[in-house]
Every structure is written in C-alpha cells, then in structure tokens.
Amino acid sequence: MSKAKKTKEKKLEDILFDCRNVLRGKVEQADNRNAVMGLVFLKFAGDKFEARRNELIEEYGDNQIFLNKPAFYLAENVFYLEETSRWTYITKNAGDNKIANILDQAMADIEKDNKPLQGALPQKFYSGLRVEVKTLKSLIDTVNQISEERFNEKDLIGRVYEYFLQHFAIDERKEKGEFYTPKSIVDLIAELIEPYEGKIYDPCCGSGGMFVQSVKFVENHNGNKINISVYGQESSPATYRLAKMNLAIRGIASDLGERNASSFLNDQHKDMKVDFIMANPPFNLKNWRDEDELTSDARWDGYGTPPVSNANYAWILHMLSKLDVTNGIAGFLLANGALGAEGEEANIRKMLVENNKVEAIFVLPRDMFYSTDISVTLWIINNNKKARVLNGRKLRDREEEILFVDLRRWNQNIYEKSYVMFDEQQILDIKKIYNSWQSINFEDEYSNIPELCRSVHKNEIREKGYSLVPSKYIEFIDRDLEIDFEAEMAKIQSDMQRILNEEKESQTMLQDAFRGIGYGID
C-alpha cells in the first residue's frame, strides 16, 4: 500500500502571492489591488471585531445592549460591524450569486457606522468588477487562509499590508504615479529626523507608509504612539482610500483631510504648523498649476514663485511653510535634478542656503524605487541648526554648514531580483555619520571621507553658484594615480612574450608529432 502524500504547509508569503494571482489577467492591475486590499481589510476588521465581541461576552455575558453598542468597540480601536458586514457572514455566503453585492453592502455599512472610515472604503466596487462568482469565492477563500491562529506573529496585519503595498507597487511600476515608498528609505528618514512626539505631516501621503513607519519608530524606541498625531493629504482618490484603510486597520488615528485633493490647489490643512515632515513627492511633476495660478501665494514669500514646468521647489516651499518656525524638521525625497536646477529654481535654492534651511543632502543608490531606476536625493530641511540639546544629544551650531553624503555605492543588498534596499546596519551607519556631524564633539566623532561624505561651509557653496550636487564637494579618488604604469606595461609585455613562446613551443611539438608518423610538414 502506498503512503499518502504529505501536504506541504503553505507559508504566509505563498498565500499572499495566491491572493495577488486570483484576479491576475481578469481585471485591471489597480482593480486587482483594490479588490485584494478591500477583502484583507474586511478580514482583519472582522477578526478584531470577533475578538472584542468575545471579550464583551466574558465581561457582560450575552447582553445584546453591550454587544451591539458601537462605542464599546470604537473605544478599543475596533470597528463596529453589522452582522452582514462581518467576515463570518461573508465567508458563509462566498458562493452566493449575490456575493459581489454582499461585499459592496458590507463596505457601505462599515463606513456608515464608523466615522474614521468615511471616504475610505470602495463603494459599489465588487459588483463593478463583473467577475464570476467562483472567482470572487476563490479570492475570499484564499484571503480567509490568513489568520493569527495559523501565523502567530506580533504584527500580522502590518506584515500583510506591507506585503501587498510593496508587491502591488512593483506590479504597477509602469503605471503613472507612486503610492508606495520602499520601507528601508522610510526607516532611514525616520531615524534621521527622529519623530518622537508632535505633529507629523505628509503633503502627498500615498498609502500612508510614512505615518506607519513613524509610529513604528516611536514604538521601537520605547515611546508611545499617542504622543504623535498624523496629518496628510493625497490627490488620487483610490490612493487616498488606500491610505485611510492602511492607517485605520492598524489603529493609527489620522487626519487626511475631508477628501482627496491637491496640496497646492486645495490645502486641506491650511495655516497648520507641524514638527516633522516625511514625504516622497512625485518626481519632476509638470504642469502642477496653470500659468496664472498661485503666482502670489504666501508659501513662496521671500523665495520666488516655482516654475510651472517642475514642482520640485514648489514641494520644498510648501513643506517649509508647514514647518514649525522654531524647531520644525523635514526629510523628503526629490529627483537629483533639483540639486543643480537653474533659473527660478536656482534662485529659490540660493535663498534656502542663505536662510540656513538646508541641513543635509543624501544621494541614494539607483534602483531603490519601483517607478524609476534613477538615483534620487534625500533632503533634510531644518528650521533650527543652532546649538541645543535634542533627544539627549548635544548639538553644535551648524548654520554655516551643510552635510553632503553620497550613498550611490551602498547598493549591495538586492531583493526581488533587481531592487536595492538598505539593511538595518547601513541605516544605523548613515545615522551615525549624520549624528556625529551634528554633535558638539564634531572634531572627535566626525571625519570627511572621500567618495562618501563631507561637511561644506556656506562660502564654498556660494563659490559654486549654490549648487547642491554632492560630487562638486565630496573628494573623488582618482584610482588611476595609484597605478604604476611602467610596471603594468612591463607585466603586459612579459605576459604577451610568454604567450608567444608557448604558442611557438606548441607548434614545434605538433610538427615533431606529424614527422614521427610519416607525414612531412614544411
């Protein structure tokens, strides 16, 4: 008798891959993403609801007044769900011919009952997909395999959302827009600007990854997430909903404005000042305003109006206008072209340098982003470069200096076959360079390193026309100067003579061999 074949236990990543695959080729990529993410939201919201409901039963018994009171759920960051919105009801009816309508109604009811989710969930979406019932059932069944009982992880919700956000971003790399910033870059920004407490803002928040990593940064450093508050804005309606879902399912309170809108044309947080900004604006955004729009906007006061042809400096000035004037600090990403752009942008850059706003410039390796393979720049803008104590560190006055760091050669860590990321040690090493440069013990702790980093005085930046291109300041090692050309040429000539001698010897041996068997060779 043959032994029964043992079924291999699926890993979490296998199940998540299957989720992405169910609708692949059947719907548009963006619809695939929204369908999967919507069901994952329903699954985790349902699991959290059932766990909280069981707690209430233990405490109050089968008391329907308590069990059906939304406030008892919302107080614990759990969304209240009507019976027809619960995951148990959805899985029970997964094969029903009206399952698409059941899912749409569940989304509508959850938004109605939970104010933080208003405008977050897709409406009348699943019926609009027009896929077969068996396909939707397959997707529901696959999502249902993700559970805390099966995968005992501390932050399963976070891991699952992070997986889908990353991999759908990779899948959509050829589409317009960028809704996800790779985690290692966000981790780096958080480590550099240290958002321990206060208001955090992102004017183009995508799927909310900057906020998620800010909260994780605080928790990883033994802080309390209630000490930070999150504000943001996003212009894409689909991405706006994705961000609200992402933050809501993780229990992160946020204010992303009443609706999706452009930060330039419809600022949802007008006159607000914040302590920290973390952002990844669209690179080299063109036609961000009409020629006659925002020409005298207060955000440009003292700097000049950014050109219509490129929004890079509009993003900088918008963010600067939001920062607390005393201690605000921002870490954001821009295309490298902004470092040496001419015309109106050069004038704005000059004023940023003269007003002591630019603290550090980090050029990142290529292939870190899913939407482009270019190298990009991380800027640190700081409203307080004076000597002070910050988070237990004694800082020196850096008003006359800017730190330049070139990380383009830190590209050893490859994942997903072609993308580059920083590992934890690299992030700590970058942070050490930055913090030692800031330190009151600067002379003992910091050193300029050729091809990596250099502290540059403002006078030198003036001399170079206010360019912020690191290669103009960081020492380059001409490795050709280290070569002994005479010795190298002698070695090459010696090797060539040896090869010629070996060929001549081989030819002689071959001639002797043929003569030995009776063939004459001329």
pLDDT digits (tens, 9 = 90+) for 183-212: 999 999 999 999 999 999 999 999 899 999
Contact (Cβ atoms closer than 8 angstroms) between residue 251 and residue 208? no
Write down the mean pLDDT value for the chain. 89
State phi, psi for 228 to the nearest 5 degrees. Answer: -120, 150
Cβ neighbours of residue 98 closer than 8 Å, sequence gap 6 or more: none
Structure tokens at 92: 């029970």
Structure tokens at 18: 């299957």
Nearest CA to 27 among 190, 156, 139? 139
pLDDT digits (tens, 9 = 90+) for 303-319: 999 999 999 999 999 99
Give me the helix-helix angle, 183-193 and 209-220, nearest 10°: 50
Contact (Cβ atoms closer than 8 angstroms) between residue 358 and residue 313? no
Neighbours of 155 (CB within 10 A): 12
Q: Could you write out the DSSP letters of every residue in 316-372? A: HHHHHHHB-TTT-EEEEEEEGGGGT--THHHHHHHHHHHTT-EEEEEEPPSS-SSS-
> What's the alpha-carbon Rg for the chain, to the nearest Å?
30
| Confidence category of residue 516, pLDDT binned at 50, 70, 90 | low
Contact (Cβ atoms closer than 8 angstroms) between residue 213 and residue 187? yes
Ranges 10-19, 52-61, 232-241, 458-467, most confident: 458-467
Q: State the fold for domain 12-154.
A: Ferritin (1.20.1260)
User: Rounded to an integer, what distance in angstroms lies between the CA atom of residue 131 and that of residue 22?
Assistant: 11
| Confidence category of residue 512, pLDDT binned at 50, 70, 90 | low
User: Rounded to an integer, what distance in angstroms lies between the CA atom of residue 191 and that of residue 31?
Assistant: 34
pLDDT digits (tens, 9 = 90+) for 215-229: 999 999 988 888 999
- Given this model, what pLDDT does residue 7 score? 52
Contact (Cβ atoms closer than 8 angstroms) between residue 372 and residue 284? no
Residues in the chain: 522
Q: Could you write out the DSSP letters of every residue in 23-35? A: TBTTB-HHHHHHH
- Given this model, what pLDDT does residue 522 score? 45
User: Rounded to an integer, what distance in angstroms lies between the CA atom of residue 146 and that of residue 134?
Assistant: 19
Place of tokens 């094969």: 95
Structure tokens at 148: 């805390």
Cβ neighbours of residue 475 closer than 8 Å, sequence gap 6 or more: 448, 450, 451, 454
Nearest CA to 379 among 280, 457, 285? 280
| Confidence category of residue 174, pLDDT binned at 50, 70, 90 | very low
Q: State the fold for domain 183-190+197-411.
A: Rossmann fold (3.40.50)
Q: What is the DSSP letter of 439?
A: B
pLDDT digits (tens, 9 = 90+) for 95-122: 999 999 999 999 999 999 888 888 889 8
From edge to edge, which strands make up the β-sheet containing 376-382?
254-255, 228-232, 198-202, 276-279, 329-335, 376-382, 358-363, 401-406, 453-457
Q: What is the mean pLDDT of residues 430-435?
A: 98
Q: What is the DSSP letter of 194?
A: -
What type of residue is 479? R
Q: What is the DSSP letter of 126?
A: H
| Confidence category of residue 176, pLDDT binned at 50, 70, 90 | very low
- Given this model, what pLDDT does residue 218 score? 92
Structure tokens at 294: 């925002």
User: Rounded to an integer, what distance in angstroms lies between the CA atom of residue 348 and that of residue 305?
Assistant: 8
State phi, psi for 483 to the nearest 5 degrees. Answer: -90, 130
Q: What pTM, to 2 d.p., does this model score?
A: 0.85
- Given this model, what pLDDT does residue 75 score? 87
Q: Is the pLDDT of residue 448 over 70?
A: yes
Per-residue burial over 285-308, b if 16 or more Cβ lie within 10 Å, else e, is beebbeeeebeebebbeebbbbbb
| Confidence category of residue 439, pLDDT binned at 50, 70, 90 | very high
- Given this model, what pLDDT does residue 134 score? 96
Contact (Cβ atoms closer than 8 angstroms) between residue 245 and residue 214? no
Q: Is the pLDDT of residue 20 over 50?
A: yes
pLDDT digits (tens, 9 = 90+) for 346-373: 999 999 999 999 999 999 999 888 777 7
- Given this model, what pLDDT does residue 513 score? 62
Q: Is the pLDDT of residue 479 over 80?
A: no
- Given this model, what pLDDT does residue 179 score? 73
What type of residue is 506? S
Q: Is the pLDDT of residue 86 over 50?
A: yes
Q: Is the pLDDT of residue 163 over 80?
A: yes
Helix H or strand E encompassing 222: none
The β-bridge relationship of strands 358-363 and 329-335 is: unpaired
Contact (Cβ atoms closer than 8 angstroms) between residue 451 and residue 398? no
Nearest CA to 206 among 252, 167, 246, 174? 246
What type of residue is 71? A
- Given this model, what pLDDT does residue 65 score? 86
| Confidence category of residue 485, pLDDT binned at 50, 70, 90 | low
